[in-house]
Amino acid sequence: MSKMFSGIKEYQYQNYNFTKDNAFDISSKQIELEDIKNKINFFDGMTISFHHHLRNGDYVANMLFDIIEELDLKDITIVASSIFPVHSKMVKLIKNQNITTIYAAYISGEVADCISEGYLKNPVYMHSHGARARILLNKEVKLDLAIIASPAIDKNSNINGSEGPSSCGVLGYAYADAMVADKVVAITDYIVDEVSDVEIAGNFVDYVIKVDSIGDANGIVSGTTQVTKDPIGLLIARNANKVIEYSGLLKDGFSFQTGAGGISLAVAQELKKTMIEKEIKGSFASGGITNYLVDMLENNLFERLEDVQCFDLGAVASIKRNENHCKMSASHYANPYDETNIVKDLDVVILGATEIDLDYNVNVTTTSNGVIMGGSGGHSDTAAGAKLAIIVSKLVSGRISVIKDRVTTITTPGESIDVLVTDYGIAINPKHQKLIENLKNKTNLKIYTIEQLYQKALDLTSIPKKIELSDEVVGIVEYRDGTILDYLYKTK
């Protein structure tokens, strides 16, 4: 039984070194899709993984679900990096108890609703992207089979994510799966003599299946991924940029990450102007990469991009042509037990929030009604690593305040959140007294305590009605070290 979260700690780094005594030559590994049932020892209770780099355009995971249904496998554990609406075939398998346990960093769509309604037999484990790498590489979960959606494979079975008609750019979340799974099946629609760079070495691959298509690359663009045009959102972005400017962190060597939400991307746009004006060159920008960060790289504002997944087709195109647009694994990105993890080197991260409470705890996992609608992704990883974790949000949306006295679900603990920027003012974690004084003395930004901002929200919305959830636990939210942050409850 995992322990409850009791604060952010120093972690002892692990030495990860995996190999597999397999041939490279693809000729002995190629099979047809219908043959996989004979080649792989499928059994009730097995654990299978897949990754989400094709996001809502993924066809491969649904091929797996068809096999599970056809064989009527029971008590299957799925270890997914993320689950999107395109994976709605899982709902039937969950209700039939073919799939009874799920690990994921993010879940949206019908699968999320199904879990919130209590259909999954065992509680879902919701963790961060860095934690998933930890779970796999530390072998806290034994992986029987990894299914790798592979945009390009060469004659030596080497896998690459940035070539082929279904290129998704990079396969950062799949590296750990390939390293530790007993069997690795690569499914591709593109085989070449030699890939330009090897992401997953061919000796880790047991079988290769060529199909007509592994996905719709246009589905990679899921969610916002565009700068907001809302004047209020742009105001928030300008003020967040001013916080960065006066934080003391914006200087040569600066490192940065932003989410793909409209306001978060607008912050990147504002930051670009400031870096050009002040002639500042950063060291790296990281995470899920969008075309806005590519633009900053190509304007010589950063030395390199560190990319674990491409959020749009501009990033997919960039990673093919820019030698300084670098691919990285999820472990190198955010595994707290990996000495090379780069989130610990971040200066500033811009993040969103569904809710934030008076202790700065943030919820991006559930709606205010307790329904699963997302998950940490890299939220808690980057907030823990960055020197300054900034939340950007409207204070009130649809008559609902982003600030609560207590968030419905804790995704990211408040001790790792530093600043909340809203359209009505800015709240700064009291541990940053120097920053508070600096902003008050040198800018015209409206600085409040979070309690004062909360009261402003209540003046606009009145005190919200408490939601009612059942006592039945349907999920466990884990911190990046495996301790329990919170529980998810069945909706009424």
| Position 471 confidence tier, pLDDT thresholds 50, 70, 90 | very high
Lowest mean pLDDT among 255-264, 345-354, 477-486: 255-264
* Spatial separation of the C-alpha atoms in residues 101 and 112, rounded to whole Å: 13
- Predicted confidence at residue 223, as pLDDT, reads 60
CA distances from 276 to 100, 244, 250, 290, 324 (A): 52, 15, 12, 19, 19
- Predicted confidence at residue 425, as pLDDT, reads 98
Determine what percent of the chain is predicted with pLDDT higher than 70: 99
pLDDT tens readout for residues 112-141: 999 999 999 999 999 999 999 999 999 999
Beta-carbon contacts of residue 289 (< 8 Å; ≥ 6 apart): 169, 305, 307, 309, 310, 311, 315, 318, 319, 325
Average pLDDT over residues 214-239: 86
pLDDT of residue 367 exceeding 90: yes
pLDDT tens readout for residues 14-54: 999 999 999 999 999 999 999 999 999 999 999 999 999 99
Average pLDDT over residues 257-267: 93
CA distances from 380 to 92, 340, 349, 362, 414 (A): 31, 17, 11, 9, 10
Beta-carbon contacts of residue 248 (< 8 Å; ≥ 6 apart): 435, 438
Q: Which is nearest to 284 in space by CA: 198, 223, 344?
A: 344
* Spatial separation of the C-alpha atoms in residues 439 and 325, rounded to whole Å: 34
- Predicted confidence at residue 222, as pLDDT, reads 61
Q: Which is nearest to 83 in space by CA: 190, 173, 181?
A: 173
Residue type, 159: I
| Position 364 confidence tier, pLDDT thresholds 50, 70, 90 | very high
Residue 193, Cβ density class (10 Å: 0-12 exposed, 13-18 middle, ≥19 buried):
exposed
pLDDT of residue 148 exceeding 90: yes
pLDDT of residue 281 exceeding 80: yes
- Predicted confidence at residue 1, as pLDDT, reads 65
pLDDT of residue 259 exceeding 90: no
* Spatial separation of the C-alpha atoms in residues 76 and 306, rounded to whole Å: 34
Lowest mean pLDDT among 222-231, 247-256, 382-391: 222-231
Answer whether 282's CB lies under 8 Å from 257's CB. Answer: no
Determine what percent of the chain is predicted with pLDDT higher than 90: 93
**Exposure string for 89-118, b = 16+ CB within 10 A, e = fewer:** bbbebbeeebbbbbbbbbbbbbbbbbbbee
pLDDT of residue 151 exceeding 70: yes
Average pLDDT, the chain: 96
| Position 245 confidence tier, pLDDT thresholds 50, 70, 90 | very high
- Name beta bridge partners: 191: 153
Neighbouring C-alpha atoms within 13 Å toward the C-beta of 351: 35
- Predicted confidence at residue 463, as pLDDT, reads 80
- Predicted confidence at residue 169, as pLDDT, reads 95
Average pLDDT over residues 468-472: 91
pLDDT of residue 260 exceeding 70: yes
- Predicted confidence at residue 57, as pLDDT, reads 94
pLDDT tens readout for residues 395-421: 999 889 999 999 999 999 999 999 999
pLDDT of residue 443 exceeding 80: yes
